[in-house]
Amino acid sequence: MPIRPATFPRAQGWLRWALVAVPMVAAMPRADALTWSLIGVTLALSLPLPWIHDAVLRPPMTALTLALIASTGALWVLHPGSWASVAMFSTTFFVVLKQSTVPIVLAIALDAGVITTWAARHDLWDDALSTYAVLAVIVLMALNRRARLARVEQTELALARAQTANEEHARAAALAERARIARELHDVLAHSLAGLSLNLQGARLMLVRDGASPDAVAQIERAQALAADGLAEARQAVAALREDAVGVERAIADLLAAYRLDTGARADLAVEGEPRELAPAVGTALVRAVQEALANTRKHAAQAEVDVTLGYAGGSVELTVADRQGRRPPDAAAAGYGLRGMGERVALLDGRLDSGPGEDGWRIYLKVPA
| Dihedral-angle region of residue 326 (phi above 0 means left; psi in -120 to 50 means alpha; beta otherwise) | left
Q: What pLDDT is attached to residue 38?
A: 86
| Dihedral-angle region of residue 350 (phi above 0 means left; psi in -120 to 50 means alpha; beta otherwise) | left
SS3 call for 356: strand
Q: What pLDDT is attached to residue 291?
A: 86
Distances (CA, A) of 337 to 97, 292, 340, 342, 343: 76, 10, 5, 8, 10
The amino acid sitting at 16 is R
- C-alpha neighbours within 13 Å on the C-beta side of residue 128: 17
Q: Return per-residue pLDDT of the chain as tens, 370 residues.
A: 333 344 445 777 788 888 888 888 888 887 788 888 888 888 888 888 777 754 445 667 788 888 888 988 888 888 887 888 888 998 888 888 888 888 889 989 999 999 999 888 888 887 888 889 999 999 999 999 889 988 998 888 888 888 878 887 887 777 677 767 766 666 666 667 667 777 777 787 888 888 888 888 788 878 877 777 776 677 666 666 655 555 788 888 888 888 887 788 889 999 998 888 888 788 888 888 898 888 888 888 878 899 999 999 888 999 999 998 888 877 654 455 567 778 888 888 888 988 888 788 889 999 999 8
- C-alpha neighbours within 13 Å on the C-beta side of residue 98: 21
Q: How far apart are CA 45 and CA 54, in angstroms?
A: 18
How far is residue 307 CA from its own chain's centroid? Answer: 42
Task: Provide the whole-model pTM.
Answer: 0.45
Q: What pLDDT is attached to residue 57?
A: 54
Q: What pLDDT is attached to residue 240?
A: 62
Q: What pLDDT is attached to residue 338?
A: 65
Q: What pLDDT is attached to residue 3?
A: 36
Number of helical H runs and strand E runs in the chain: 11, 5
Order of all β-strands in the sheet with 352-357: 267-272, 305-313, 316-324, 362-369, 352-357
Contact 74/58 with Cβ under 8 angstroms?
Answer: no
